[in-house]
Amino acid sequence: MGERTRPALFNIPAHRAFSDALVTGILARHGNDLVRLAQGMILLPNNRAIRSVSDAFVRKSGGGLLLPRLVALGDPDLGEQVGGALDPLGEDDPIPPAIAPMRRQMILARMVQQASAHPIDAGQALKLAQALGAVLDQMQVERVPVRALAELGLSDDLSQHWQTSLRLFGILLAQWPQELARLGCIDLADRRNRLLDRMTARWAKAPPDGFVIAAGMSTTAPAVAMLLRRIAMLPKGAVVFAGLDQEMDADAWNAIGPSDADTPTGSTAGSATGIGPGGLESHPQYALKRLLDRMSATRDDVALWRWGSEHDARAVRGRNISNAMLPPRLTSRWRDLRTADRLLAGVETLEVATPGEEAQAIAIALREAVETPGRTAALVTPDRQLATRVSAHLRRWGIEADDSAGQPLSRLPPGTLLIAMAEALAERFAPVALLTLLKHPLVMRGEGRLAWLEGVRGLDLLLRGPRPQAGIHGLDLLLAEREGEDRQRALRDRTRLWWAEARELLEPLEQAFMAAPDLAGQLAAIREHAGRLSHDTVWAGHQGHAAADLFAEMEEAASEGPRQADIRGLPALFDHLLGGLSVRPPQGGHPRISILGLIEARLVQTDLMILAGLNEGTWPGLPAPDPWLAPRIRREIGLPGLENRIGLAAHDFASALGAPQVLITRARRGAGGPAVASRFWLRLKAMAGPQWKNTGRYAALAQAIDRAEEHRPAARPAPVPPLSVRPKVIPVTDVDRLKADPYAFYAKRILRLARLDPVDADAGPAWRGTAVHEILQRWAEEGNGKLSDLEARARAMFDRPDVHPLLRALWQPRLIEAIRWIAAEVASDLAAGRRILSVETEGRAEIAGVTLTGKADRIDLLPDGKLGIMDYKTGKPPSARQVKAGYALQLGLLGLIAEHGGFPGTDAAPVVGSFEYWSLARKGEAFGYRESPVDPLGKRDKIITADFTSGVHAQFEGIAAAWLNGSAPFDAQVNPEVASYGDYDQLMRLEEWYGRDDG
């Protein structure tokens, strides 16, 4: 039998289940002779398509069957090799092996780093290398010669940025063949081209004995196009397209792009690209039209595949899809469509408010499919976060969905541990990064895990507040014994015992990195110490094995990788490399439902297809920018444009619309705010017109599943503890809190709950106030009053080894200026006859049946024999209005204790004649000023000095009688006149009741 005169081209339309229809036809044509069937060969796009067709053979066979040989042409985007059947052994002229992908990326990263005029860290170099490798692959796949760039002559018309990128790209393009020659390898895309060309030539001379069918191809690569042309001309060959639109009329078909066909050579230079520059690349039929052109065929040469399956939708669906995907300039036709041609029977839409509602509704739809005997369903979405949410919802009902796209290794426990180690090292064991590492679920996995976590919790408490010094040395200083008062002494002692064990694990890691400036040494250190930290569980299980294999590849190739490996870029490097590997569980999930990405869903069709995440930027996704070639250059040399991906996503969407039942979903809001509906969603909606209906069935169930039967809003809390637990000793600092917000006082003093400072917090007012009080106390106790001594003490405090350099740089200049002002003011007061009696002195007095305690920052003896009470503030002091209203009683209460003789070193019944706040804040151009809430004559609406303590006494008696000695409830309240006490807002459930009219 000779070669055909016309190519054997067929099409399975989108409304038919591709794999089942294909297998049905193959069995009808070749199934009578099982030996001949086994001698046949089916070429498919990738390994996932092989699985889909294999499953279809199992469903259709009804018994034992010898399958034809299923061969993958290999998907370059997935890094797949060409199937072994196309790479026979024992060739006289063997094709060189392909370079390993990791080794290639490392070498390209080194070349980028060396060729760049500016320093680039290893992580950024690897990202640029990946983009560079993608451009090299595209040039080889499209067979764009290197000279095409030099012949363009566009560099003078480009911006400076693109001129620099093009010049650097040219240098790298010239160096790369030398690197390949040194290694004796070729690129994967080049090897793929050579294998396909060799197979095309071999079959031209000697056609195979069995049938050859190429099915589901959509790649426009010239080598693939020529092979498909050869298969279509074989006596027993055929090419079967998936989803070619044969409903579209000639005007619409021509509107997709130029119709000049490629020559049989597959040349892409200049204007011979067929649908090249000017083509509508975002159209779902663009790739198939370009493929036909490169095969020197037309749509008229394609016949309809006669066979279908029980999973097909009605034929009218094909017309609906074709109408929805008309080229933009022809969408005016929608106005004239008949109802039957715009009616999307079997297609439901679901639009909800949030991604959480969307995931819940999808999970309910999948559960409904599971509970329907024999029904199959698939969720198709490029949104991995949405897919993860749906999987979690399904697990609530014990349903494990087969998520064929897997999870990026960077999000799985082994990957997060490796990234956490890199971040801890890059930040030199800064608190947040260190605790993230130490609390990781794989660290110290096993019997000692609980004891380990107890030690980590202790360290967590000690790290609350300002950051310690960097590295292991800074943590040693944090845990070292301290002289004098240490409120955390017991916690520090317990944690110090645990730190001895943790230090043995962390210090060698730090030392190994200090001794390993190159990437290979850093990877080796991470690998070794990751095993020590996790007792080797990081490398266990299918996830750990994937991490171990990837790490082995990274280590092996690192010696040829980037030379400048700054440790600060290590986390980004790990996130990039680990995020590029998806890990699937070894066992499948439920046999009738699956979760698929766009690539995984190609050639797959189920009874119910759920197309989710139909928002712009998700489906279709935003085209990734090419950092190397400007869009104009890509267009001129014949490379696919950046919108080519949108066209592929559109074809995936149109193909999935062909299922018998389709549910299309989107959320009006995304993670970052309001979301814009996908162009595909808007097209369908505009075409359907009045027929467009949003189903509320699944949305209602999603909202009802967690809806409470009865709404019971929280009332304002007002606990009434018994008198026996109400405190009888109260510090003056808590009286203001008690009056302004009794519930906050109740939580702090009776429940003994205290807010923890954030980890790695800024040095706030509390830290600054403590530092100032410590300096002033020690300076005043010396009694010399010298300015130089006070300033020296302040500088000495910042020179302590436990003070972080950042605090020294930020606060030392301000504090020194404020300290100088204090010293000058004290010297002025001493010259005027005042004398310092005490500093930081504790006092107490029995008042209104309660022991009132307080610490006076300073008490002076005035020239007239009265006392002066001073309170240092690092910020703005309370206003006279707040003091007069009774919400800032601290200064008056200290005076009240003094008048009761509660401070040692004062007379039995002294008179307080001065109340002052000394603020260290900036006022005008200088730091430091005095403020007093009282005045001897009550001027400026201030309290009369002589009446201050008596008024405070009366207010305190009322407070004590109500809450400390009485039975008044501790109401939760927030007074707008008072500084906010927000530590207990969540505990009191403030937002549930505040502002609501309870009447």
- In this prediction, residues 689-703 reach a mean pLDDT of 84
- In this prediction, residues 519-545 reach a mean pLDDT of 89
pLDDT at 365: 94
332 pLDDT higher than 90: no
Residue-wise pLDDT for 859-907, tens only, equals 888 888 889 998 888 778 888 888 888 888 889 999 999 988 888 877 6
More confidently predicted of 760 and 749: 749
Strand locations in 528-601 (E): 582-583, 593-596
Per the omega criterion (within 30 degrees of 0), is the bond before 620 cis? yes
Rounded distance, CA 829 to CA 217, Å? Answer: 92
pLDDT at 82: 65
Residue 903 CB neighbours (<10 A): 25
pLDDT at 2: 61
Instruction: Name the band, by pLDDT with cuts 50, 70 and 90, for residue 802.
Output: low
Residues 323/691, Cβ–Cβ less than 8 Å: no
Instruction: Name the band, by pLDDT with cuts 50, 70 and 90, for residue 81.
Output: low
261 pLDDT higher than 50: no
821 pLDDT higher than 90: no
Extract the tokens encoding 58. 């199992």
Residue-wise pLDDT for 179-211, tens only, equals 999 999 999 888 888 889 989 998 988 888 889
pLDDT at 91: 62
839 pLDDT higher than 60: yes
Rounded distance, CA 20 to CA 68, Å? Answer: 15
Encode 803-828: b = buried (16+ Cβ within 10 Å), e = exposed: bbeebeeebbeebbebbbbbbeebee
17 pLDDT higher than 50: yes
**Per-residue DSSP letters for 908-939?**
SS--EEEEEEEEEEEETTEEEEEE-SEETT-G
834 pLDDT higher than 90: no
Distance from the first to the final alpha carbon of the chain: 95
Rounded distance, CA 132 to CA 111, Å? Answer: 11
pLDDT at 440: 94
- Please report where in the chains the tokens 């959509």 appear, as a residue: 218
Residues 312/13, Cβ–Cβ less than 8 Å: no
pLDDT at 977: 59
Instruction: Name the band, by pLDDT with cuts 50, 70 and 90, for residue 781.
Output: low
- In this prediction, residues 929-940 reach a mean pLDDT of 87
Q: How many CA atoms lie within 13 A of 696 on its CB side?
A: 3
Which of 837, 825, 842, 831 lies closest to 861, judged by CA?
Answer: 837
pLDDT at 766: 65
Q: How far is CA 882 from CA 740, 868, 895, 917, 932, in A?
A: 11, 21, 17, 14, 12
Which of 503, 496, 431, 419 lies closest to 460, judged by CA?
Answer: 431
Q: How far is CA 457 from CA 188, 193, 435, 465, 618, in A?
A: 50, 58, 9, 15, 40
Specify the amino acid at residue 130.
Q
Instruction: Identify the three-state secondary structure at position 769.
Output: helix
pLDDT at 793: 73
Q: How far is CA 658 from CA 59, 263, 296, 596, 766, in A?
A: 20, 33, 28, 16, 66
266 pLDDT higher than 50: no
In the DSSP assignment, the letter for residue 744 is H
Rounded distance, CA 21 to CA 778, Å? Answer: 90
Q: Are strands 582-583 and 302-304 parallel, antiparallel or unpaired?
A: unpaired
Q: Tell me the three-class secondary structure of 428-496, residue by residue.
A: CCCHHHHHHHHCCCCCCCCCCHHHHHHHHHHHHHHCECCCCCCHHHHHHHHHCCCCCCCCCHHHHHHHH
pLDDT at 220: 87
Instruction: Name the band, by pLDDT with cuts 50, 70 and 90, for residue 87.
Output: low
Rounded distance, CA 537 to CA 745, Å? Answer: 47
999 pLDDT higher than 60: no
Instruction: Name the band, by pLDDT with cuts 50, 70 and 90, for residue 214.
Output: very high
Query: What are residue 242's DSSP bridge partners?
Result: 12
How buried is residue 335: exposed, middle or buried, by Cβ count under 10 Å (0-12/13-18/19+)? exposed
Residues comprising the chain, all counted: 999
Listed range (119-128, 363-372, 549-558) with the worst mean pLDDT: 119-128
Residue-wise pLDDT for 544-581, tens only, equals 999 999 989 998 898 888 877 778 888 888 888 898 88
Residue 258 CB neighbours (<10 A): 17
Residues 850/869, Cβ–Cβ less than 8 Å: no
pLDDT at 267: 37
997 pLDDT higher than 70: no
pLDDT at 75: 65
- In this prediction, residues 711-718 reach a mean pLDDT of 84
Query: What are residue 347's DSSP bridge partners?
Result: 662
More confidently predicted of 815 and 507: 507
Which of 969, 981, 975 lies closest to 750, judged by CA?
Answer: 969
What rounded mean pLDDT belongs to the chain?
84
- In this prediction, residues 286-308 reach a mean pLDDT of 92
pLDDT at 78: 53
Q: Are strands 212-215 and 237-242 parallel, antiparallel or unpaired?
A: parallel
More confidently predicted of 88 and 753: 753
Residue-wise pLDDT for 392-449, tens only, equals 999 989 898 878 777 889 999 999 999 999 999 988 898 999 999 999 999 998 888 9
pLDDT at 86: 67
Listed range (301-305, 373-377, 594-598, 820-824) with the worst mean pLDDT: 820-824
pLDDT at 359: 94
pLDDT at 483: 58
Residues 601/656, Cβ–Cβ less than 8 Å: yes
